[in-house]
Amino acid sequence: MHDDDEYFIRTIEFDNIPNEVKIYQQTIGDVGHVVWDAAIVLAKAQTFITDLPEVLSLMEKNIVENQTGDKFNITAKTLKWGEDVDKQLLYPDYVFIADCIYYEESLYPLVNTMVAISSTSTQIYLSYEERDTEKKVKLQNQFFKLLLKHFHMKEIPTTMQDPTFSSPDIHVIYLTLKLIEKS
């Protein structure tokens, strides 16, 4: 576990939760050490939260910090894209993916993991922050081209999103697995 001076707290108020949600984030680290705004947009429903092994303790710290009675049934799990998936994570009703389009080498493992855990009835909501550098635009286009090979895709307009937890530069995509006929 890390010292408390390695953390800063982000506080979020939700209409349906009486207490503020406090999210610990690490002051030093890469992508798994903070909660991205795109994750906040999707924060209305979750049972399992996943990330790499090195941030498992941080996820567990946030669960403990915000546990109030039996309102939350959240479990932190390790999930490394492209590797075997814990059976508890297979074929969920809903999957929420927040701001995971950041490295070219992670695109195929992410999409492969999405396909592996999904059934045709799994509903996936993917949010990402629009970034306008040439490299990020190319990366996003490559990612969506990969997704379209396996998933039906529809963008959820901001007018259909929660008015408090939405932003014009954060997009929410709805995905369902395509039915692949075997020959």
> Could you tell me if residue 30 is inside a domain?
no
> Could you tell me if residue 144 is inside a domain?
yes
| C-alpha angle 145-77-67 in degrees, rounded to nearest 5 | 120
Closest to 6 in 3D by CA, of 23, 22, 26 = 26
> Could you tell me if residue 22 is inside a domain?
no
pTM over 0.85: no
Q: For the chain, what is the domain count?
A: 1
Q: Give the percent of the chain with pLDDT over 70.
A: 78
Cβ within 8 Å of residue 103, ≥6 positions away:
none
> Could you tell me if residue 143 is inside a domain?
yes
| Mean per-residue pLDDT of the chain | 83
pLDDT at 137 over 80: yes
Host domain of residue 96? 36-177
The DSSP string of 114-158 is HHHH--TT-EEEEEEE---SHHHHHHHHHHHHHHHHHEEEEEEPG
- CATH number for the domain spanning 50: value is 3.40.50.150
> Could you tell me if residue 125 is inside a domain?
yes
How do residues 86-100 score in pLDDT, each as one tens digit? 998 999 888 999 888
